[in-house]
């Protein structure tokens, strides 16, 4: 077949002509090792798939302790504790930042951009907190930064929103984007565990880190939501402008109650554009209808539902973390970074693409609610709480006080109210008044009831 031979000939010629791109790898932990493994296993396949144009060779690796014994396949001289030795090495053409944190990582990323070396990172905290500065440098030096691994692990949601849905006005994105908390909520639901036990189990299985703070307090997911919202709407969003509530206060009774009503409890990122183009970005434990596709996202899996004005509803589902899925995203970005070098660094625009946008203040966001109060069990409690809600014109669709089977005469009980749709600010005002009642012993716990 002469045609095919010609194809092969040209491909081979390219393989010979092109040199591999030198990579400087900052951080050689779980994901870094995953990247090295993936390149080793599938490097030849990647080269074939890219018409022989893309191969990679690791030139320097930044580590904390260069003397630590490592796999023999990497020459000892690759390793250094000097970050400048990695970023500034003239053989390093692409910098991969996987050390996490926002200080040293910031130094590495910004120095790479100054040197016009494309950056690949999975660091959501860095981009959510210092994205404005970093993207400005990316623009200034006409050098791209890729961060598929920063959101939802192996799910290509960044590329999808940035490229595949570029022709869509994004009306909403709703996501389960923290696998650790999703696993904990699922175990609380299916095994009736309390939060602490489910967290302990997740830690034992390696699904939660020794310090799980950012996972369970919602901030890991919030950083990702900020990135997604910036992609869709194009303006930088300050972390302090985003309302974030974690799952630490979720009790088995909440999950049980949700079930009875036909819901499951999920830590949900909600990003939504209002009619006036203001954008709602929030992260809270939420009741999701059990019939919605997000309700079946179990364990450490992630999913993001997107509604675009052209594409309609779409959902992306996969592993949101872990060595190999995250490495899959990093390697895809490496190929894009390599292409950007071959293409004389012309790339598809920068983030943010506009300076300012409007966020919807959390007080103005509206849903229905499930609120749990810790009250002293005496006559009149329901009446007092209901009266305050009535004063604020907040409708009640149900109330319930489950009897504790282990202590039916308990003096302190949990009392649950289901409330009609109203602005969150109004609810907060009412809850502050209710907190002042002498029968109420602690800050009420609020769940959103989402209409997806």
The residues assigned a catalytic role are 224
Among 354, 358, 378, 400, binds a copy of itself (CB under 8 A): 354
Asked if omega into 352 is within 30° of 0 (cis), the reply is yes
Binding piece for a copy of itself, criterion CB under 8 A, among 102-110, 189-197, 342-350, 392-400? 342-350
Q: Report the residue number, 172 or 315, with the smaller CB distance to a copy of itself.
A: 315
Q: Is 141 in contact with 116 (CB distance < 8 Å)?
A: yes
- Phi, psi dihedrals of residue 51, rounded to the nearest 5°: 65, 30
Among 24, 131, 175, 322, binds a copy of itself (CB under 8 A): 322
The burial of 69, by beta-carbon neighbours within 10 Å (0-12 exposed, 13-18 middle, 19 or more buried), is given as exposed
Among 123, 182, 286, 328, binds a copy of itself (CB under 8 A): 328
Q: Which residues of 156-181 are buried (b: 16+ CB within 10 A; e: fewer)?
A: bbbbbbbeebeebebbbbbbbbbbbb
Binding piece for a copy of itself, criterion CB under 8 A, among 269-277, 332-340, 374-382, 406-414? 332-340
Please give the radius of gyration of the chain, using alpha carbons only, rounded to the nearest integer. 25
Q: How far is the CB of 331 from a copy of itself (least distance, A)?
A: 3
* Subset of 222-251 contacting a copy of itself (CB under 8 A): 234
Q: How far is the CB of 202 from a copy of itself (least distance, A)?
A: 18
Q: Report the residue number, 20 or 426, with the smaller CB distance to a copy of itself.
A: 20
Q: Is 416 in contact with 372 (CB distance < 8 Å)?
A: yes
Q: How far is the CB of 303 from a copy of itself (least distance, A)?
A: 8
Q: Report the residue number, 239 or 291, with the smaller CB distance to a copy of itself.
A: 291
Q: How far is the CB of 449 from a copy of itself (least distance, A)?
A: 22
In the structure encoding, which two tokens stand for residue 125, read together?
């905290």
Q: How far is the CB of 14 from a copy of itself (least distance, A)?
A: 9
What letter would DSSP give residue 359? B
* Subset of 18-37 contacting a copy of itself (CB under 8 A): 34
Q: Report the residue number, 10 or 209, with the smaller CB distance to a copy of itself.
A: 10
Neighbouring-strand partners of residue 243 = 282
In the structure encoding, which two tokens stand for residue 141, read together?
């030096």
- Is residue 12 close enough to count as binding a copy of itself by CB under 8 A? no
Q: How far is the CB of 178 from a copy of itself (least distance, A)?
A: 17
* Subset of 277-316 contacting a copy of itself (CB under 8 A): 293, 296, 308-316
C-alpha–C-alpha distance, residues 297 and 178, integer Å: 11
Q: Which residues of 323-350 are buried (b: 16+ CB within 10 A; e: fewer)?
A: bbbbbbbbbbbbbbbbebbeeeeebeeb
In the numeric block, the tokens 């194009």 are attached to 234
What letter would DSSP give residue 224? H
Q: How far is the CB of 133 from a copy of itself (least distance, A)?
A: 8
- Is residue 139 close enough to count as binding a copy of itself by CB under 8 A? yes
- Is residue 5 close enough to count as binding a copy of itself by CB under 8 A? yes
In the structure encoding, which two tokens stand for residue 254, read together?
């909440």
C-alpha–C-alpha distance, residues 334 and 201, integer Å: 35
* Subset of 388-447 contacting a copy of itself (CB under 8 A): none
* Subset of 153-172 contacting a copy of itself (CB under 8 A): 154-156, 159-160, 162-169
Q: Report the residue number, 7 or 410, with the smaller CB distance to a copy of itself.
A: 7
Nearest to 35 by CA among 98, 82, 102: 98
| Side-chain half-sphere CA neighbours of 341 within 13 A | 25
- Is residue 365 close enough to count as binding a copy of itself by CB under 8 A? no
- Is residue 52 close enough to count as binding a copy of itself by CB under 8 A? yes
Maximum distance among all Cα pairs of the chain, rounded to whole angstroms: 91
Among 350, 368, 377, 386, binds a copy of itself (CB under 8 A): 350
């Amino acid at each position: 077949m002469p045609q095919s031979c010609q194809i092969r000939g040209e491909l081979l010629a390219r393989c010979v002509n092109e040199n591999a791109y030198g990579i400087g790898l900052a951080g050689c932990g779980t994901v870094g090792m995953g990247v090295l493994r993936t390149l080793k296993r599938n490097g030849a396949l990647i080269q074939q798939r890219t018409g022989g144009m893309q191969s990679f060779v690791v030139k320097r690796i930044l580590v904390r302790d260069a003397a630590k014994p490592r796999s023999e396949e990497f020459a000892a001289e690759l390793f250094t504790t000097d970050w400048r030795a990695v970023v500034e090495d003239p053989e390093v053409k692409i910098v991969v930042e996987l050390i996490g944190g926002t200080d040293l990582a910031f130094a590495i990323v910004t120095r790479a951009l100054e040197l016009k070396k494309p950056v690949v990172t999975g660091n959501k905290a860095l981009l959510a907190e210092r994205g404005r500065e970093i993207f400005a440098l990316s623009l200034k030096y006409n050098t791209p930064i890729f961060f598929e691994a920063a959101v939802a692990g192996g799910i290509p949601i960044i590329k999808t929103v940035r490229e595949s849905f570029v022709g869509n006005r994004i009306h909403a994105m709703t996501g389960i984007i923290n696998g650790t908390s999703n696993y904990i909520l699922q175990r609380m639901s299916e095994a009736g565990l309390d939060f602490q036990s489910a967290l302990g189990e997740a830690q034992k299985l390696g699904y939660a880190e020794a310090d799980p703070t950012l996972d369970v307090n919602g901030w890991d997911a919030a950083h990702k939501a900020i990135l997604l919202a910036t992609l869709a709407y194009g303006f930088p969003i300050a972390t302090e402008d985003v309302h974030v509530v974690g799952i630490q206060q979720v009790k088995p009774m909440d999950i049980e109650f949700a079930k009875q009503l036909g819901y499951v409890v999920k830590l949900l990122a909600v990003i939504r554009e209002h009619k006036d183009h203001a954008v709602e970005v929030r992260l809270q434990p939420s009741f999701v209808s059990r019939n919605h596709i997000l309700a079946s996202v179990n364990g450490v899996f992630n999913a993001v539902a997107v509604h675009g004005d052209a594409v309609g509803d779409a959902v992306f589902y996969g592993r949101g973390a872990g060595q190999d899925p995250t490495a899959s995203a990093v390697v895809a970005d490496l190929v894009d970074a390599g292409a950007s070098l071959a293409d004389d660094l012309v790339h598809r625009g920068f983030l943010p693409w506009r300076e300012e946008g409007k966020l919807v203040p959390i007080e103005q966001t509206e849903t229905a609610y499930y609120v749990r109060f810790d009250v002293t069990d005496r006559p009149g409690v329901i009446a007092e709480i209901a009266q305050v809600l009535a004063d604020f014109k907040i409708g009640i669709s149900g109330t319930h006080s489950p009897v504790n089977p282990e202590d039916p005469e308990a003096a302190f009980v949990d009392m649950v109210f289901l409330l009609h749709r109203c602005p969150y600010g109004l609810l907060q005002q009412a809850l502050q008044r209710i907190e002042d009642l002498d029968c109420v012993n602690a800050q009420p716990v609020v769940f959103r009831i989402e209409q997806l």
